[in-house]
């Protein structure tokens, strides 16, 4: 599946137990590998980025034993990787790539480090220059300044007791973090001097805190100098737990702030070492109500109900600040995020990616080298029919999930969330409440349409006549000269169908269709094209977009099984074939169309037979659908029964 369709949401509330922090997980893994002694790690994040780090450590000869349920036992190599020659592939895991580059460059051995294509576009020269200055041998195997790298061609590396190492801090803090983690391997006192501004400063604090847990105290002198004392070496702390991921927390806190809440995340709180917990302060500035405990944070919507736009320097929380860019869609006034140039060298150019996708939702977006300003659309969000692109960037996918609090939304290639949060969308579904759907399926002439309209009127909900979409597609294909047998051609017509549904009105390309979709000819065309998988796929999202607050009643063949499998109430409406033939007869006569019972009866029998045998979306009752036999019921009685079932689940 290369997309996920998020239903529009009414609200968000509940509790989420966060997965382990990516930043902490990968730091702890490396420290445990470099330490003397055994470390038992609990609550390690299980994701692509940590899998790359684990695989690299195993390739370097470190003994790693999975204990199940996010727990691992790592036998530390005591500062000396057993395997002296290895080729490591690190995907797009920046934390793993930068820290291993530093650690391997300061070890004896010959290594190559490569990654995903995007990793080879992310700069690393600042780190390489700093490591070369202390005598490390590093060559660029591709474009100078970028991975892949060859490390330690000359052996043993003629490390200097450099005294001072200089590293630029204004592109990525991971260069400084990598150096800090690796320098204890040299055994000599080293001072790191940061050149230029240091971005993402709180991530360096995570590094220092984790180093302390493994017995190395870095002395910080002012904002730019870090002294790694002589004879530092890592010692396993025994047992260590990974905190919840504060960046991942941002999506849920934003959901609570927009969608009512209270939404609580567990695993981060007052005690957290992660700078991204300050995301909660940014939400509070927007008016959200925030509560913080030792190990949890909770967000609710403002008392006034409406968030307000803010201006924020995002430098300290570069990952979580992205979440504010989509939260801004629900705020009054513009939101400006500044000092975020580092976004341009992450998994993708995050400033451009966010701007492009936000505009698809109707927002006005201004961007610069290091800022983005988002003004929400005054008339509300719109659903982009092509879906939201995710740029192989987990955070883009997760950020845009918030927009489902406004409109139904397709997110393309959602699998990218596995970089840091493989089960994100399951967690998301568990704490969000979707706009309700009543799905009514059933055989031809069972009265689905009549009942669905009746129920929709009673509840004041929207109504989807899915059959009309198939009929419109058949009509549009005919008008465009596309043969009904041409699956790809008809699917293209379906995908670009310019249809507009109003009360008692259906328009095709702006023109009222009236009874043109009810002729025998078009009925036959609709049933021909309805068996084509490409046509059904092209109409799928179009049908889902009808789901709007306060609710939707949808009628048609596969409403309960395929289009709205999460429908709150599912009804399979049927009646004896004789009664259905009579009802259809009456309907036709009322419309002034000549008809007689016998052929109608024959036709319905044939259709039932065909419909239940067809391989694509066959007519069948879903296991969780109510069976409603309306043979002896009036329209009022039938509608009352459907409403009764719906009200029972409220």
What is the binding site for ligand DC (CB under 6 A)? 466-467, 470-471, 526-527, 530, 556-558, 617
Burial code (b: 16+ CB inside 10 Å, e: under 16) for 604-633 equals: beebbeebeeeeebebebbeebbebebeeb
Spatial separation of the C-alpha atoms in residues 339 and 354, rounded to whole Å: 16
168 versus 471: smaller Cβ distance to ligand DC? 471
Classify strands 190-195 and 225-228 as parallel, antiparallel or unpaired: antiparallel
CB of 53 to ligand DC, least distance (A): 47
Spatial separation of the C-alpha atoms in residues 102 and 100, rounded to whole Å: 5
CB of 513 to ligand DC, least distance (A): 13
Can you say whether residue 509 is alpha, beta or left, with left for phi > 0 and alpha for psi between -120 and 50 degrees? Answer: left
463 versus 470: smaller Cβ distance to ligand DC? 470
CB of 546 to ligand DC, least distance (A): 12
307 versus 539: smaller Cβ distance to ligand DC? 539
Spatial separation of the C-alpha atoms in residues 199 and 169, rounded to whole Å: 6
6 versus 617: smaller Cβ distance to ligand DC? 617
189 versus 608: smaller Cβ distance to ligand DC? 608
The full DSSP string for 337-399 is EES-GGGGGSSS-HHHHHHHHHHHTT-EEEE-SSEEEEE--TT-----TT-B--TT-HHHHHH
CB of 514 to ligand DC, least distance (A): 15
CB of 563 to ligand DC, least distance (A): 7
Burial class (CB in 10 A: 0-12, 13-18, 19+), 521: exposed
400 versus 470: smaller Cβ distance to ligand DC? 470
In which order are the strands placed within the sheet that holds 499-502? Answer: 499-502, 505-508, 511-512
SS3 292: strand
CB of 592 to ligand DC, least distance (A): 20
Q: Are 398 and 251 in contact (CB under 8 A)?
A: yes
Burial class (CB in 10 A: 0-12, 13-18, 19+), 182: buried
317 versus 617: smaller Cβ distance to ligand DC? 617
DSSP state of 142: S
Sign of CA dihedral 458, 409, 364, 304: positive
C-alpha neighbours within 13 Å on the C-beta side of residue 50: 28
350 versus 471: smaller Cβ distance to ligand DC? 471
Peptide bond connecting 148 to the previous residue in cis, omega within 30 degrees of 0:
yes
CB of 440 to ligand DC, least distance (A): 10
Q: Torsion over CA of 392, 24, 268 and 206, rounded to 10 degrees?
A: -110
Structure tokens at 582: 């009579």
Q: Would you mind telling me the total number of residues written for the chain in this entry?
A: 650
Helix boundaries (H) for 160-229? 173-182, 201-213
Closest CA to 536 of 546, 526, 545, 522: 526
Q: Where are the beta strands (DSSP E) in 503-549?
A: 505-508, 511-512
Q: Residues 245, 319, 441, 465: which is the catalytic one? A: 319
Give catalytic status of residue 521 as yes or no: no
CB of 1 to ligand DC, least distance (A): 20
CB of 602 to ligand DC, least distance (A): 17
524 versus 631: smaller Cβ distance to ligand DC? 524
CB of 280 to ligand DC, least distance (A): 44
Distance of CA 217 to the CA centre of its chain: 38
Name the residue number minimizing CB distance to ligand DC: 467
Q: Which residue numbers are catalytic?
A: 319
């Amino acid at each position: 599946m290369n997309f996920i369709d998020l239903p529009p949401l009414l609200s968000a509330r509940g509790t989420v137990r966060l997965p382990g922090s990516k930043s902490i997980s990968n730091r702890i893994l490396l420290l445990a590998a470099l330490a003397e002694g055994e470390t038992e790690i609990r609550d390690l994040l299980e994701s692509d980025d940590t899998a790359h780090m684990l695989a690299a450590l195993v390739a370097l000869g470190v003994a790693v034993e999975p204990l199940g349920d996010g727990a691992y036992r790592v036998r530390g190599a005591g500062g000396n990787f057993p395997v002296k020659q290895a080729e490591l592939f690190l995907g797009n895991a920046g934390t793993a790539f930068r820290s291993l580059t530093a650690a391997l460059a300061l070890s004896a051995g010959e290594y190559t480090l490569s990654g995903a294509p995007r990793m080879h576009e992310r700069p690393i020269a600042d780190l390489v220059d700093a490591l070369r200055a202390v005598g490390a041998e590093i060559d660029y195997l591709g474009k100078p300044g970028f991975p892949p790298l060859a490390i330690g061609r000359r052996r043993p590396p003629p490390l200097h007791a450099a005294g001072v190492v200089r590293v630029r801090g204004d592109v990525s803090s991971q260069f400084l973090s990598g150096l800090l983690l690796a320098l204890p391997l040299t055994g000599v006192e080293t001072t790191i001097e940061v050149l230029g501004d240091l971005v993402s400063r709180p991530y360096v604090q995570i590094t220092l805190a984790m180093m302390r847990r493994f017995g190395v105290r870095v002395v910080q002198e002012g904002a730019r100098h870090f002294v790694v004392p002589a004879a530092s070496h890592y010692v396993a702390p025994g047992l260590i737990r990974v905190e919840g991921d504060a960046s991942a927390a941002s999506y849920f806190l934003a959901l609570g702030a927009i969608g009512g809440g209270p939404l609580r995340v567990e695993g981060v709180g007052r005690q957290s070492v992660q700078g991204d917990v300050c995301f909660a302060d940014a939400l509070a500035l927007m008016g959200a109500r925030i509560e913080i405990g030792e190990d949890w944070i909770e967000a609710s919507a403002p008392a006034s109900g409406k968030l307000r736009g803010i201006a924020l320097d995002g430098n300290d929380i570069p990952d979580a600040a992205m979440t504010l860019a989509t939260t801004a869609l629900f705020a009054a006034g513009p939101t400006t995020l500044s000092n975020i140039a580092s976004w341009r060298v992450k998994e993708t150019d995050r400033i451009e990616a966010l701007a492009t996708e936000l505009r698809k939702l109707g927002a006005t977006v201004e961007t610069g080298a290091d800022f983005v300003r988002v003004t929400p659309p005054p008339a509300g969000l719109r659903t982009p029919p092509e879906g939201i692109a995710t740029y192989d960037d987990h955070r883009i996918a997760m950020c845009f999930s918030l927009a489902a609090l406004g409109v139904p939304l397709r997110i393309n290639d959602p699998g990218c969330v596995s970089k840091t949060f493989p089960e994100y969308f399951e967690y998301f579904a568990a704490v969000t409440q979707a706009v309700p759907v009543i799905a009514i399926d059933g055989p031809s002439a069972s009265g689905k349409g009549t009942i669905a309209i009746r129920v929709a009127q009673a509840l004041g909900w929207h109504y989807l006549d899915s059959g009309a979409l198939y009929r419109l597609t058949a009509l549009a294909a005919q008008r465009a000269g596309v043969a009904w047998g041409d699956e790809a051609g008809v699917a293209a017509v379906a995908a670009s169908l310019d249809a507009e549904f109003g009360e008692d009105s259906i328009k095709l390309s702006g023109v009222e269709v009236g009874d043109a979709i009810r002729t025998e000819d078009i009925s036959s065309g609709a049933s021909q094209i309805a068996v084509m998988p490409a046509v059904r796929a092209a109409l799928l999202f179009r049908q889902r977009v009808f789901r709007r607050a306060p609710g939707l009643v949808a009628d048609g063949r596969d409403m309960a099984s395929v289009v709205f499998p999460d429908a709150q109430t599912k009804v399979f409406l049927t009646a004896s074939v004789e009664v259905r033939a009579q009802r259809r007869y009456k309907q036709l006569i009322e419309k002034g169309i000549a008809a007689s019972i016998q052929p109608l009866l024959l036709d319905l029998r044939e259709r039932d037979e065909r419909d239940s045998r067809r391989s694509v979306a066959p007519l069948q009752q879903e296991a969780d659908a109510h069976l409603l036999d309306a043979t002896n019921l009036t329209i009022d009685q039938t509608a009352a029964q459907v409403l009764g079932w719906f009200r029972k689940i409220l």
